[in-house]
Amino acid sequence: MIINDVEVRFVSGGDDIGVGSFGLVIHAYDSDNNKCFALKTSEMDERTVNAVQREWEVLNYFNTLEEQQGFAARNHIIKMHEMKHEANYMYFLLELGGKSLGEYYRQKVAERHGRNARLEKQFRTNILKGAAQALQQFHQKGGIHLDVKEDNFVIALDENQSEPDAVFESTETIPVKLIDFNISVIVERGHVAHIEYMADAIRAPELLVDRRNVI
């Protein structure tokens, strides 16, 4: 597949990263530059078109912010490298992230303790500090995420696209990136929250009483 000037290869259904309400994410490879990406494919129909468009607006906002203020202005937010709108689909070529927070934590603890899993408080704290850092940056730049959960944070990869080593005795923050902006809001853009997409866990009580009021 060619997305703008970038040709990427992938195995359909062979290397999925994740699937959600608004798209499928798979590994994609640019052989010309020897680089991996996350390719998110979102179908745009009557139910999803606003959410898919919103994600593009948020990703593009942070790309513009980087051009104006430098990479440090958005270094905890996943980057959109390319986008392609074709027929009823939007294709996002995204920076490749690592595992979700919980998946990374559980894997590293299992590697250290095997089946004798135990709580690694400092290691968990280091991961959560990274997530807090990402969310703080999103808020400081005028964003409201509206879907904060474990799966919407991924471990940031280094220049070799590798995850950081787990040093359990360290107090150093583990770098994390925020992802998935289908229902997010950028205040200065005048976005209105699409409350119909919100999970019940974060809906205001008055919105749960009568779902007919959800518009």
Domain contains 210: no
* Residue 184 within any structural domain of the chain: no
pLDDT tens, residue by residue, 65-91: 999 999 999 999 999 999 999 999 999
The model's confidence at residue 113, banded by pLDDT at 50, 70 and 90, is confident
Q: Which residues are annotated as part of the binding site for ATP?
A: 40
Which of 96, 112, 130 terminates a domain? The answer is: 96
The answer as to whether 197 is a domain residue is: no
The answer on 25 and 12 residing in a single domain is: yes
Q: What is the pTM of this model?
A: 0.85
More confident site: 19 or 79: 79
- The predicted pLDDT at position 67 comes to 97
> Which residues does 92 contact at the CB level (< 8 Å), separation at least 6?
23, 39, 40, 41, 42, 55, 56, 59, 80, 82, 83
Domain boundary among 37, 71, 96: 96
Residues 13 and 48 placed together within one structural domain of the fold: yes
Count: domains in the chain: 2
Task: Answer yes or no: is pLDDT of 34 > 90.
Answer: no
> pLDDT (tens digit, 9 = 90+) per residue, 165-195?
888 999 999 999 999 999 999 998 888 887 7
Statement to judge: residues 84 and 129 lie in one domain: no
Residue at 198 is within a domain? no
Q: Does 211 have pLDDT greater than 70?
A: no
Q: Contact 109/118 with Cβ under 8 angstroms?
A: yes
CATH of the domain at 77: 3.30.200.20
Residues 70 and 105 in one domain: no
| 17 and 82 fall within a common domain | yes
pLDDT per position as a tens digit, 120-165: 999 999 999 999 999 999 999 999 999 999 999 999 998 888 998 8
- Spell out the residues 6+ positions from residue 58 whose beta carbon is closer than 8 angstroms to its own: 143, 181, 184, 186
User: What is the domain extent for residue 139?
Assistant: 101-178
Last residue of a domain, one of 50, 70, 96: 96
